[in-house]
Amino acid sequence: MALISSANTGSVSEQSLLGRVALVTGGSRGIGKAIVHKLAALGAAVSFCGLNEERLKNAAKAFESSGAKILALRTDVTKESEISALVASTEKQLGKISILINNAGIGGGGFGAIQEKTEAEWDHVMNTNLKSVFFVSRAVIPGMIARRGGDIINISSLAGKNTFAGGSIYCASKWGLQGLTGCMAEDLRAYGIRVSVICPGSVATEFVGRGPKDPSKVLTAEDVAYAVAMVAAQGPQSFISEVHLRPVAKL
């Protein structure tokens, strides 16, 4: 998908997010890491979190070498107390959060026939893919309401729009995220807060999905990051509520 990626290096103007503070969950690898890089390149100060300490440190070093204002914090986004600390640390060190990217998500445990799944697998996927969005958003929203503005962008999947065999728990989590996003958008638009959802198709990352992917027929993490930047940098009088992102070549 080199054609898509090269096309996605322009259009969104440089430094269009200067002065804004973004928080990205699941930002130490894959789609999240690409989002952090893109937002920082557009001038935002970016805080990101993940569970793996070494991966966080390595990602932070790579970002800092570019001169970006970056904060990496180990956080379990399924635990409300850790989220409170994440938000507090971000706002103390970088400033008030005006962009939230709910990207943290897993696939492992979410694939397989429903009769083969366990309660533990259900809880793990739902807590990471859906409950964490509720927790993190709820921690950030009061400040956005007080400031009468902000952007919340949830990273879902086309699996939140389509069903397939073996997708029981994963699809349920993403369909739930679609509904949550739509309701959040209606709850918050009166405060100048825009809530959007981005639904990528298959992406070439370390994400554990349904099997190996042909790199020529999937999206790149940078393609998703470009869509996020486009949504975050749009004019103040409107908002893009939902983006479906597909590779040109069909699998």
> What are the tens digits of pLDDT across the range 122-160?
999 999 999 999 999 999 999 999 999 999 999 999 999
Percent of the chain at pLDDT exceeding 70: 91
Indicate which residue of 48, 170, 175, 226 is catalytic: 170
DSSP string, 28-90: SSHHHHHHHHHHHHTT-EEEEEES-HHHHHHHHHHHHTTT--EEEEE--TT-HHHHHHHHHHH
Predicted pLDDT of residue 118:
95
Instruction: Look up 226 and say whether it is catalytic.
Output: no
The answer on pLDDT for 6 being more than 50 is no
Predicted pLDDT of residue 9:
44
Q: What is the pTM of this model?
A: 0.91
Contacts of 102 (CB under 8 A, 6+ apart): 25, 132, 133, 136, 137, 152, 153, 154, 155
Predicted pLDDT of residue 108:
76
Predicted pLDDT of residue 5:
39
Predicted pLDDT of residue 67:
82
The answer on pLDDT for 211 being more than 80 is no
The span from the CA of 104 to the CA of 226, in Å, is 17
The answer on pLDDT for 94 being more than 60 is yes
Q: Give the lowest-confidence range in 50-54, 166-170, 247-251.
A: 247-251
Predicted pLDDT of residue 20:
97
Query: What pLDDT digit, counting tens, does each position of 32-44 carry?
Result: 999 999 999 999 9
Query: What pLDDT digit, counting tens, does each position of 212-224 carry?
Result: 567 778 999 999 9
What's the rounded mean pLDDT across residues 51-75?
91
The answer on pLDDT for 15 being more than 80 is no
What's the rounded mean pLDDT across residues 86-111?
95
For domain 2-8+20-245, the CATH superfamily is NAD(P)-binding Rossmann-like Domain (3.40.50.720)
Q: Mean pLDDT: which of 13-17, 58-62, 183-187, 233-237 is highest?
A: 183-187
Q: How far is CA 78 from CA 27, 64, 95, in A?
A: 15, 27, 24
Predicted pLDDT of residue 201:
94
